[in-house]
Amino acid sequence: MPRPRKVKLIHGMPIPESRTIFKPSGLSMDNLSMNTLTIVEFEAIRLIDAEDKSQNEAAALMKISQPTISRILSSARKKVADALVNGKAIHIEGGDYKFVSKIFTCPACKSQFPADDTAMPQKCPKCNSTGILASNDAV
């Protein structure tokens, strides 16, 4: 029997799906190669490089081992560096993950936003509508 894959817990809300491609401006996607960063790799960069957490802290938050996050981080940095240096696009998608914080959706304006696991937001931060729905369940 195959061993179950480890689930990496994602604490941050990745940028909205429609905005997950970064590319050099002025060039069409047809002329660009693209590196795909998994959402797990994105989370490793977010926690360690953007939030200055140690690899041990980030590993604990994502419930994976330090050697695993070290491997994920090095792969993520390589892809980002390659894109910057060689003028490639970066697409953030996929990977084996599960959200920790709740994601809420506003049916009125279709925007999605995270909130901490304790409380359902009273109104949409964008359009102030009150019919907020939970899009996923907290772990």
Least distance in angstroms from the C-beta of 98 to Zn ion: 25
Diameter over CA atoms, the chain: 50
Least distance from Zn ion to the Cβ atom of residue 122, Å: 12
Residue placing its CB nearer to Zn ion in the complex, 6 or 110: 110
Contact between 93 and 39 under an 8 Å Cβ cutoff? The reply is yes
Residues lying near Zn ion in the complex (CB under 5 A)? 106, 108-109, 124, 126-127, 129
Cβ closest to Zn ion, residue 65 vs residue 105: 105
Min. distance of Cβ 17 from Zn ion in angstroms? 17
- Residue with smaller CB distance to Zn ion, 6 or 126: 126
Whose Cβ is closer to Zn ion: residue 100's or residue 132's? 132
Chain position carrying tokens 């390589």: 78
Least distance to Zn ion, CB of residue 47, Å? 28
Instruction: Characterize 17-31 residue by residue with b for buried, 16 or more Cβ atoms within 10 angstroms of its Cβ, and e for exposed.
Output: eeebbbbeeeeeeee
- Do 106 and 18 touch, CB atoms closer than 8 A? no
**Residue 21, φ and ψ in degrees, nearest 5:** -110, 125
